[in-house]
Amino acid sequence: GGGSNDPRGALIVLEGLDRSGKSSQSARLVSYLEGIGHSAELWRFPDRTTSVGQMISAYLSNESQLDDHTIHLLFSANRWEKRSLMETKLKSGTTLIVDRYSYSGVAFSAAKGLDLHWCKAPEFGLPAPDLVLYLDIPPEKAAERGGYGDERYEQLEFQKKVAECYHALRDSSWKIIDACRPMEEIEKQLQGIVLDNIVACKVGKPISQLWS
Ligand code: FDM
Ligand code: MG
C-alpha cells in the first residue's frame, strides 16, 4: 500500500443545524464502514484539541469574547491546521467522515450578518468534500428535540438564520437528507449513498479544492 496509484479515501462531510443528528450519524457511519472492511475515521470541526481549538471552545462557552471576524478566522485556521493530515489520510486510502466543515464556518458567521463572500474567502483552497450530507430539519423541530446546551448559537432564532445561510451554500456535492425520519431509516440511507461515493472516489476522481 501507500503507492501513488492506490485508491484514495473519500472526504465526506455532514452538515446541518444543531440537533439535526450529525454527530450520531457520523459515528454510526464510521462503525458501519469499518465493519465492512473500509478504512475510515471520524473527524469533527471545530477540533477543540489544538491550541486554536481551545480558543474556539472558550469563545463558544462564553468564557471569552472575540470580534465576529476574529472568531471566523480562527474557525478557518482550525481547518487549515488539519489540512496536511487530512490530505495524507485521504491519499493513503482512509475515508474521512467529518462532522461540520467550511459550510458551518460560512453559515454561522453569515447568520451574524457578515458578508457571505468575505466569509468564504479564507476557505479557498481547502480540500473540497466529495459529498456533503445535509441533515435537513426545520429549526423548530430541532429545538423541540431538546438538548441545546448553553453554548453560543444554540438558540432557535439564530438557528433559523443559519438555516437560511446554509441554503445559499448548496451545490452539486450536496445531498439533502430528510432528518425528521427515524434514526435507523436515515442511517440506512446514508450507508447506501456513502458506499456509492467511496467507490466513485476509488476509481480515480481527484481531490478538488473549495469552492468548486
Ligand atoms: N461553528 C462550527 C462555527 O461557527 N464555525 C465553524 O467553522 C464550525 C466548524 O460552532 F454552533 C459553530 C457551530 C456550532 C459550534 O460546533 C460548535 P459543535 O458541532 O456543536 O461542536
Ligand atoms: Mg453544539
Q: Give the model's confidence band at 4: pLDDT under 50 very low, under 70 low, under 90 confident, else very high.
A: low
Pair 47, 55: CB distance under 8 Å: no
- For the CA of 76, the closest atom of ligand 1 is 7
Q: What is the ipTM of this complex?
A: 0.98
What pLDDT, on a 0 to 100 scale, did the predictor assign at position 28? Answer: 98
Among residues 164, 172, 177, which one has the least CA distance to residue 137? Answer: 177
Q: Whose CA is nearest to atom 6 of ligand 1?
A: 105
Q: Give the model's confidence band at 1: pLDDT under 50 very low, under 70 low, under 90 confident, else very high.
A: very low
pLDDT one-digit tens code per residue, 124-182: 999 999 999 999 999 999 999 988 888 999 999 999 999 999 999 999 999 999 999 99
The neighbouring-strand residues paired with 127 are 209
Mean pLDDT of the chain: 95
Q: Whose CA is nearest to atom 20 of ligand 1?
A: 18
Q: Give the percent of the chain with pLDDT over 90.
A: 91
Among residues 208, 202, 209, which one has the least CA distance to residue 5? Answer: 202
> What gap in Å lies between CA 19 and CA 58, rounded to an integer?
21
Q: Give the percent of the chain with pLDDT over 70.
A: 98
Average confidence (pLDDT) over 54-83: 98
Please name each of the domains of the chain with its CATH number: 11-202 (3.40.50.300)
Residue 111 predicted with pLDDT over 60: yes
Pair 187, 28: CB distance under 8 Å: yes
Torsions phi, psi of 29, nearest 5?
-65, -45
- Test site for ligand 1: of 99, 100, 114, 132, most ligand atoms within 8 A of the Cβ: 100
> What separation in Å is there between the alpha carbon of 41 and the centre of ligand 1?
19
> What separation in Å is there between the alpha carbon of 10 and the centre of ligand 1?
22
- For the CA of 46, the closest atom of ligand 1 is 9
Q: Whose CA is nearest to atom 18 of ligand 1?
A: 46
Average confidence (pLDDT) over 192-196: 96
Q: Give the model's confidence band at 91: pLDDT under 50 very low, under 70 low, under 90 confident, else very high.
A: very high
pLDDT one-digit tens code per residue, 40-64: 999 999 999 999 999 999 999 999 9
Residue 3 predicted with pLDDT over 60: no
Residue 5 predicted with pLDDT over 70: no
Please give, one letter per residue, the 3-state secondary structure of the chain: CCCCCCCCCCEEEEEECCCCCHHHHHHHHHHHHHHCCCCEEEEECCCCCCHHHHHHHHHHCCCCCCCHHHHHHHHHHHHHCCHHHHHHHHHCCCEEEEECCHHHHHHHHHCCCCCHHHHHHHHCCCECCCEEEEEECCHHHHHHCCCCCCCCCCCHHHHHHHHHHHHHHCCCCEEEEECCCCHHHHHHHHHHHHHHHHHHHHCCCCCCECCC
- For the CA of 154, the closest atom of ligand 1 is 11
> What separation in Å is there between the alpha carbon of 7 and the centre of ligand 1?
31
Residue 25 predicted with pLDDT over 50: yes
